[in-house]
Amino acid sequence: MADYEPVLLKNISLEGSTDLKVYESAGGYAAARKALKMTPDEVTEIVKEANLRGRGGAGFPAGVKWGFLPKDREVTYLCVNADESEPPTFSNRVLMEKDPHQLIEGTIIAAFATQAQKAFIYMRVEFHEPFHVMQNAIDQAYAAGYLGKNIFGSGFELDVFIHRGAGAYVCGEETGLIESLEGKRGCPRIKPPFPAVEGLFHKPTVVNNVETLCNVPHIIERGAAWFKSIGAEGSEGPKLFCASGPVNRPGCFEGPMTITCRELIEGDGYGRGMRSGKEVKAVLPGGISMGVLTADELNMVMDFDDPRNFGLLGLGTAAAVIIDQQQDIRKVLANITRFYSHESCGQCTQCREGTSWMDKIATRIADGVGRTEDLDLIVDVTKNMGMMPGLSICGLSDGAAFPIRTIVQKFRGEFEAYIAEQPPTSTLRVLSTFN
């Protein structure tokens, strides 16, 4: 949208955007100073009123999550989820690489609102550049007195640490993250108890995503009414979108959650259309875990609600993978099933076995020895996986089920055409694919 004024990405084009002085010259840390003159409850209420919903995938209201903390707690921890393991999402990486002090300021305000005195930025180990940029910014903040004791003369103190995870997809789930942060294998916990009651080191804990926290300073500075004026009811505020694939301008973009998937691909301020005359076959609009859209479904609004009208799990991370007509849908399916089979932590039988068998079936189809009944079988497996039917500890298997199910259902005709073209003797090789 030509008239949209960037909020989260407004500083990234500034020379020296990672430096404290540059950030302050653009108004940085004014919101933190303002927040620390309020009470924690007042800060929480402003964020609640703004209806800031989590940008990490689930879309749960951040202020409501803060309000779940027990009133009589003595220790509180804040975990910043910078794992960003959802393919092909890189909006958090952009924020940390280009504007690290925005995240630190949001962390200070969130920590004050929740009365956390220690915050841990959980970052995947592959993020080498963001790690060094963030650590340098944290060092600058300490040197300026913005972290540590008596921040801005308020009496509030906060220490911030970066913890580098091992790059496991399941550690993007908040309790898997907590387990890893404690030095254990990153396997999600059974809930309840929820992290707000018993989280890191068995103490009350809040886990927020990077992009979510980067919104907080702007809400404090400009107010809840301003935040709610962007987007639409239930999907308020600025949002980062990613576009990957054969578009003329792949990248990370900012806009309101009123844009459509088509606009993300074709809009001048976004992807600027398909490259070299290619045509869209399919789009995974929210990272791969939310499900797939066909070329006829691109008018889906990129908000928290409309994706469900298209059979998707939700908006997810709003990171779109665009697939052109030249791509073999069998290979797309096999690539996704291989990923989830590899990333399942193995705790839940239906996820461990389901992702593994779906990978075997999808690989068989991609190798040209599939059967029509395989399509029914793979869909049936997806309907018996996940938290939604009450069969798993975390949502990984829901995230595996939706893209696999929607790809098979929406492109079944293409799969059947490929299977029909197979030599009659190909079915004799079926069992060999399971060795």
The per-residue pLDDT of the chain, averaged, comes to 94
Regarding whether 393 and 335 lie in a shared domain, the answer is yes
DSSP class of 274? B
Residue 6 lies in a domain: no
Regarding whether 253 and 191 lie in a shared domain, the answer is no
Rg (CA), the chain: 22
Residue 14 lies in a domain: no
CA–CA separation, 162 and 160 (whole Å): 7
Residue in the block written with tokens 């956390």: 116
Residue 99, beta-bridge partner list? none
Reduced to 3 states, what is the DSSP secondary structure of residue 322?
A: strand
CA–CA separation, 368 and 349 (whole Å): 29
Q: How is residue 2 written in tokens?
A: 């030509």
- Express each pLDDT in 136-195 by its tens digit: 999 999 999 999 999 999 999 999 999 999 889 999 999 999 999 999 999 999 999 999
Torsion of Cα atoms, 411 then 415 then 416 then 417, to 10°: 100
Regarding whether 391 and 287 lie in a shared domain, the answer is no
Regarding whether 223 and 105 lie in a shared domain, the answer is yes
- Express each pLDDT in 365-411 by its tens digit: 999 999 999 999 999 999 999 988 888 999 999 999 999 999 999 99
Q: At 203, which CATH number?
A: 3.40.50.11540
Regarding whether 208 and 65 lie in a shared domain, the answer is yes
- Express each pLDDT in 7-42 by its tens digit: 999 999 999 999 999 999 999 999 999 999 999 999
Regarding whether 430 and 351 lie in a shared domain, the answer is yes
Does residue 426 register a pLDDT over 70? no
Instruction: Tally the domains of the chain.
Output: 3
Q: How is residue 187 written in tokens?
A: 């396997």
Regarding whether 398 and 251 lie in a shared domain, the answer is no
Regarding whether 117 and 169 lie in a shared domain, the answer is yes
Regarding whether 40 and 103 lie in a shared domain, the answer is yes
- Express each pLDDT in 334-349 by its tens digit: 999 999 999 999 999 9
Supply the pLDDT for residue 150.
Answer: 96
pLDDT band at 251 (very low <50, low <70, confident <90, very high): very high
Residue 4 lies in a domain: no
Q: At 365, which CATH number?
A: 1.20.1440.230
Residue 2 lies in a domain: no
Regarding whether 143 and 98 lie in a shared domain, the answer is yes
DSSP class of 232? E
CA–CA separation, 216 and 114 (whole Å): 13
Does residue 428 register a pLDDT over 70? no
Regarding whether 259 and 164 lie in a shared domain, the answer is no
Question: Which of these, 311, 302, 327, 279, lies nearest to 403 by C-alpha position?
Answer: 311
| 195 neighbors 182 (Cβ within 8 angstroms) | no
Residue 413 lies in a domain: yes
Does residue 433 register a pLDDT over 60? no
CA–CA separation, 366 and 422 (whole Å): 11
Domain endpoint, select from 324, 359, 375: 324
Residue 191 lies in a domain: yes
Angle between helical axes of 100-114 and 40-50 (0-180°, round to 10): 120
| 197 neighbors 203 (Cβ within 8 angstroms) | no
How many CB atoms sit inside 10 A of residue 233's CB?
9
Question: Which of these, 347, 348, 330, 327, lies nearest to 338 by C-alpha position?
Answer: 330
Domain endpoint, select from 179, 194, 228: 228
Mean pLDDT score, 207-234: 97
CA–CA separation, 420 and 412 (whole Å): 12
Regarding whether 350 and 252 lie in a shared domain, the answer is no
Residue 148 lies in a domain: yes
Q: At 312, which CATH number?
A: 3.10.20.600
CA–CA separation, 270 and 260 (whole Å): 11
Domain endpoint, select from 273, 300, 324: 324
Q: Is the peptide bond before 192 cis (omega within 30 degrees of 0)?
A: yes
- Express each pLDDT in 255-300 by its tens digit: 999 999 999 999 999 999 999 989 999 999 999 999 999 999 999 9
Residue 220 lies in a domain: yes
Q: Could you tell me the residue range of the domain that residue 296 belongs to?
A: 234-324
Question: Which of these, 101, 59, 93, lies nearest to 212 by C-alpha position?
Answer: 59
How many CB atoms sit inside 10 A of residue 284's CB?
28
Supply the pLDDT for residue 2.
Answer: 56
